[in-house]
Amino acid sequence: MTTTQNDLAAFQLLPTLTTVGDLLDLLNDNLNSQSKELRAHAATLQGPRKRGSTTVRGLDVLPRDRELVPAPDEWDDVISEGCAAYCFDAPELEGRLGAISLGDALAEHIPVSVRIGSHGVELFIDQPADTMPRCSHVTVIIGQFKGEAAVFTWHPGRPRQPAKLTYDTAVKTHNGN
């Protein structure tokens, strides 16, 4: 199989989520997985979300019959191969946007720092949560983790392309002066 065929095969194994109840059931499956890593990851998604785009409440406060819809096609550029994205409105979560593009941050002269986050090296802006814009729109991304369907993330707002930083990423040591 080629990589594209592998990605297609993985995508075809993903469940179709149509309601918040389907999402909660998948999260519960992940919490009860045989995989220690998947169980640990699922535990971080119980909510409320506290880093990046945040919420005051977790998904469990939502009605199980709340409809999820497939993400719009224009999001394809930031959704990883083999993953599926969904979205829905949930004003009762009291979401706040906590991710902007690097380009927007630089254009607005907002200082950007680097830290070691839960998923490795990441860019961040030290900003109080109550200053972030409110957002009632929620994104969910699912994919395969070691052969199991998994909730990768959920958060207020549209998905953003994650930075591809590693410990080997070059850092300029001289500013040219």
Residue matched to tokens 């969904």: 86
Per-residue pLDDT reduced to its tens digit, 101-112: 888 888 988 888
Q: Which of 6-15, 87-96, 135-144, 145-154 comes out lowest in average pLDDT?
A: 6-15
Taking the model in full, what pTM does it have? 0.80
Higher pLDDT, 37 or 160: 37
Tokens of 39: 């169980």
Res. 6: pLDDT tops 70: no
Res. 99 pLDDT band, cuts 50 70 90: confident
Section 3-9 average pLDDT: 45
3-state secondary structure of 156: strand
Tell me the domain boundaries of the chain. Answer: 3-156
State percent of the chain over pLDDT 70: 88
Res. 173: pLDDT tops 70: no
User: Using CA atoms, how far apart are residues 153 and 139, in angstroms rounded to an integer?
Assistant: 8
For 54-83, give one letter per residue: b (16+ CB within 10 A) or e: bbeebbeebeeebebeebeeeeeeebeebb
Res. 83 pLDDT band, cuts 50 70 90: very high
Parallel/antiparallel/unpaired status of strands 84-89 and 137-145: antiparallel
